[in-house]
Chain A
Amino acid sequence: MQISARHADQTTIFDVSGDIDLANSPAVRKALLSEVREKRTPRVVMNLSKVRYIDSSGVASLVEGLKACRDLNLRFILFGLSPSAREVLQLSRLLKIFEVYDNEDQALAS
């Protein structure tokens, strides 16, 4: 799993690739929370188009990112969900809680 951040126009975009599971969800959580709390860019976007699998610990990291953004009045956006990632958000009834788009253009135009 790899995670990196890009910054553009009041937005931080995290590009994540690989599976997010117990082995690496702490790294996602750490990167996300430190960026949100230190940079406080108004819009935080997670590019998940290269993530094939997310487990419950990965979902928990996304929820923590969402809550941290809400606490600071920032937007938290996901795009590029794989079928598996979409299913776990549906199973946990979180799909409607997150702001989700199909691709980066849609996410940045929102």
Chain B
Amino acid sequence: MKTVKPSRQLDSNGLPALRDGLLLKLHLHSDPKLLCVVRGALERLTEVLGFSPSDCRSVTRAVDEALTNIMRHCYHGRIDQPIEVSCRRLPRRASSGEGLEILLSDRGPAVDPAKLRGRRLDEIKPGGLGLHFIRQSMDTVEYQRGRGVNRFRMVKYFQHTGSPNC
């Protein structure tokens, strides 16, 4: 079977055009000390895109909590394992508005979907809040497993009617 590679498109400056709305891609190790670095990047990115201050905090919180879950539950505290963070701009579609898609990928063991539900909040006890924060903060939250990779996808749609700033 033949695989046909798509031709590389160039932008007006003759540089390879950014495909699929890619805005930012980070490769990091599963070290909790790097969480503040990713939060800083997400805070600036969401500001530049024109999200409200509250939505900037929501997106940053969701990414931080999802990375925390990967570090704790997929990599069990090992600090040298690979994680990829990809942020893309989603174009307006008939069924949805423009948004920001964030895809987190890791090579830890498969996640039990039953554990992705989070716990009830009517008990006062520590732990189990991260997934709840993620679901409250983002418009779409999905998990997929394929080829040894966990992919955690989150989307936040723009609330304003104008176009994003970049």
Contact = CB atoms under 8 A, between A and B. Distances in A.
Nearest to A63: B126
Interface stretch (B17-25, B83-91, B129-137): B129-137
Interface stretch (A35-43, A73-81, A82-90): A82-90
Interface size grouping (class) on chain B: 20 to 34
Given A21-B32, A23-B36, A87-B57, A93 B126 contact: no
Interface string A10-27: 000000000101110000
Interface residues of A, number: 24
B79 to A, nearest CB: 10
A49 interface: no
- Point out which of B32, B65, B126, B130 has the most chain A C-beta atoms below 10 A from its C-beta: B126
Contacts, number: 72
A55 B68 contact: yes
Contact of A93 (B65, B72, B121): B121
Contacts of A88: 61, 129, 133
Chain A interface helix/strand/loop/mixed: helix
Nearest to B136: A91
A21 B68 CA distance: 9
A22 B71 contact: yes
Interface string B116-128: 0000011011110
Contacts of B124: 63, 66-67, 94, 97
Interface in B14-46: 32-33, 35-36, 39
Nearest to B72: A22
Interface string A41-82: 000000000000101110111011011000000000000000
Contact of B129 (A21, A59, A64): A59
B125 A21 contact: no
B106 interface: no
A94 to B, nearest CB: 7
A92 B39 contact: no
B36 A84 contact: no
B35 A60 contact: no
Contacts of A61: 126
B101 interface: no
- The 3 A-B residue pairs with the shortest CB-CB distance in the complex, in nearest-first order: A60-B126, A23-B32, A56-B129
Interface of A: 19, 21-23, 53, 55-57, 59-61, 63-64, 66-67, 83-84, 87-88, 91-94, 97
